[in-house]
Structure formats: C-alpha cells, structure tokens
Amino acid sequence: MDNRIFNVNGTGDELLLKALELALMQEWSKSTTMEAWKIDKEKGLILYWHADGEAIPFPSPLSAEQLLPIVSGFLASKEAKEVTCEGWDADTDHDGCNGFGWRVYCEDWGHIGRDHYAFIAIKPAYIWYGK
C-alpha cells in the first residue's frame, strides 16, 4: 500500500520485537523478512525489504526475531548516539521527565526517504513521561 503509516516509540526489547513484527506484517509484498540495511545520521538504521543501491545486504533475509539483536546492538552503538533526535524524539524540557528509548517508523508513501525499498527505520528517541 502506498499510504502505509507506521510510527511506534517505546523502550525495551519485548516491545521492540513486537514493533518489528508488526512493521513486517505491513509489507505490501507480504514479505516477512528484510534483505539489507544502511545507517543514516538523521533517520537511523534503515531496513530494506530488497537490497538495492547503497543498502548493505544481509547474508540472508532476516525475520523480526533475527533482526532484534542487530537493532538492539545498533541502538547501543556509537553510531546511534550520533543520530539526530529532534521534534517528538528530542530530550525536550517539560513538566515531566524523559527516558531513552527508540522509534520504529516509516515516512511518506510508506518508505524512508526516496528509496522505495527502504521499508522502515529505527532511531534512538526520548520517551516523555508526564507527572
């Protein structure tokens, strides 16, 4: 589908796995695996359902369960700390507190950027907690 919307933030591996599973269920070709990846300093870890262009292929297609340790490793990495957290992902001053988490998302047309094989991205994000 061309108007796919996906935007989930949270903390912890259990919820992250569920977000990855749900994102893969939305794949228009009914694929349940990702074939490639790329890191972008603004968008985070980008996952591709088909290896193309600058995407780095996985040795074999990976399921959500197989992607989880890779995504968790990315979120703990030096590269993840360099990803821009702005807008709703920022460490914003408000009348509560913030904790570090992640966001799994897609952009316009159900892709990331202009690459139609770029299916979802995962980036560090602050989670806002109210009073």
List pLDDT tens digits, range 68-98: 999 999 999 999 999 999 999 999 888 888 9
CA distance 122 to 72: 10
The pLDDT, as a whole number, for residue 33 is: 86
Nearest residue to 11 via CA among 75, 91, 81, 95: 75
Q: How far is Cα 55 from Cα 43, in angstroms, rounded to an integer?
A: 14
pTM for this model (two decimals): 0.92
Q: What is the pLDDT of residue 31?
A: 62
Residue 30 has pLDDT above 60, yes or no: no
Mean pLDDT of the chain: 90
> SS3 string of 20-88?
HHHHHHCCCCCCCCEEEEEEECCCEEEEECCCCCCCEEEEEEECHHHHHHHHHHHHCCHHHHCCCCCHH
Query: Which pLDDT value is given to residue 108?
Result: 86
pLDDT above 70 for 131? no
What six digits make up the tokens of 80? 């993840």
Nearest partner of 89 among 78, 80, 101, judged by Cα: 101
32 pLDDT tier (thresholds 50, 70, 90):
confident
Give the Cα separation of 17 and 19 in Å (integer). Answer: 5
The domain ranges of the chain are 7-129
